[in-house]
Amino acid sequence: MGAGTIQRSGGGGRRRRRGRSAAMSEINVTPFVDVMLVLLIIFMVAAPLLSSGVPVELPDTAAGALPQEEERPLTLSLTAAGEIVLQDTPIAREELIPRMRAIAVERTSNAVFLRADGAIPYAQVAQVMGALNNAGFNQINLVTSNGGPEFDGAAPTAPSE
C-alpha cells in the first residue's frame, strides 16, 4: 500500500480524454442575458408612451398593478370637465353604449380600463360603469396612481405613474 496512489479496479477500458478537439458542451448564457436586459430596458422606457395621453388627475390608492393583456388595453377616461374620452377620441354620453357594443364584438377581451379624474363625483363614475356593463364589458379596471393611504398604519409609498 503506497501513500498517495489510487488504484482502479476493472479492466483496461477506454479513457475519455479532454483535449483541444473535444466539443464544448456548456452553453454561454452571458450574451443571451445581455440582450434580454437591453430589451427589458427598451420596453420599460417605451411602455409609458403607449398609454393614452388624456390629462386626468388620478386619485391615489394603495392598489397594485394589474397584469397586462395581449390586446391593446381599451381605455375610457372621464375628465374633470365631464367629458368621456375613448382611447384618445372624445365621445358624447349617448354614443357611449352603442360604440362600446360595437367594440365588444371585435375584441376577445371584455376588459376596459376606466380612468376618472379625482374631482368627478362618484355617482357619475358609477353611471359610466353601469353603461360599460350594459355594453358587455363586465371586467372594469379602475386606474389610479400609487402613493395613497395604506389603511394599515404604514406610511404611503412614493407615487410612480
Spell out the domain ranges in the chain.
58-63+71-146
104-154: per-residue pLDDT in tens?
888 888 888 999 888 888 888 898 899 888 888 888 888 888 777 777 766
- pLDDT-based confidence at residue 34 (cuts at 50, 70, 90): very high
> Is residue 9 scored above 70 in pLDDT?
no
Q: Which residues of 63-89 are buried (b: 16+ CB within 10 A; e: fewer)?
A: eeeeeeeeeebbbbbbbeeeebbbeee
Dist. CA 131–CA 82, nearest whole Å: 15
Residue 29, C-beta contacts closer than 8 angstroms, at least 6 positions apart: none
User: What is residue 161's predicted lDDT score, i.e. its pLDDT?
Assistant: 47
Does 6 score more than 60 pLDDT?
Answer: no
Strand, coil or helix: 60:
strand
Instruction: For domain 58-63+71-146, give the CATH number.
Output: 3.30.420.270
Instruction: Provide the mean pLDDT of the chain.
Output: 78
